[in-house]
Amino acid sequence: MRYGIIVMTITCAFAGIGTHVILKNFALFPRKMISFLILGLVLLDFLPTPYKTVEVRAREVDNWLAKQPYGGQVQLPLKDSYEQSSIYFTLINQKPLIGMMNTYPSHRYFEMDLLLRNFPDNKSMELLNREKITYVIISESDYDVTDGFIKDCQKYGLLYGGSFDGQSVFINVQ
């Protein structure tokens, strides 16, 4: 950061020198007007601009989960479990999430992602049971949750909890 300060200071100094060179070629009255114009542009550059914000609200599925018995959850596809918004949603639903916020995914993420890609199957169910995952939240934009898909999940002992605004929930009764 020290080098950044040096660059900014030198840039400001060059701007001042350049302004002096430009202004010395004008008479007194235009020089004052140009000085005020430059000063106005500098002040305009420092005006604060608000950042765009997005209101994060609880999902319908999180309100439903909050009323359910305690148990771990996973959001599929697994990459969604590692989003910052998923961490926020745990504040509403009060269920631990398999996942974490990290700049670089851990080796565990890649191992679990391989096992959960073909959900529902034997390997994914073994992982869910081993990790004590009770609730599987499926993003309906990534999975085609049809009657056939629900029946496949039921074959592996999962109960269909319902569809909530684009999110389907399956309950692992283990």
The residues spanned by each domain of the chain are: 2-45, 60-172
pLDDT level of residue 100 (50, 70, 90 thresholds): low
- Measure Cα distances from 118 to 26, 52, 88, 111, 121 in Å: 75, 38, 27, 13, 6
pLDDT tens readout for residues 113-155 = 888 888 888 999 998 899 888 999 999 999 888 999 999 999 9
50 preceded by a cis bond (ω within 30 of 0): no
Mean of all residue pLDDT scores within the chain:
86
Q: What is the pLDDT of residue 27?
A: 82
Q: Is 148 helix (H, G, I), strand (E, B) or coil?
A: helix
pTM, to two decimals: 0.67
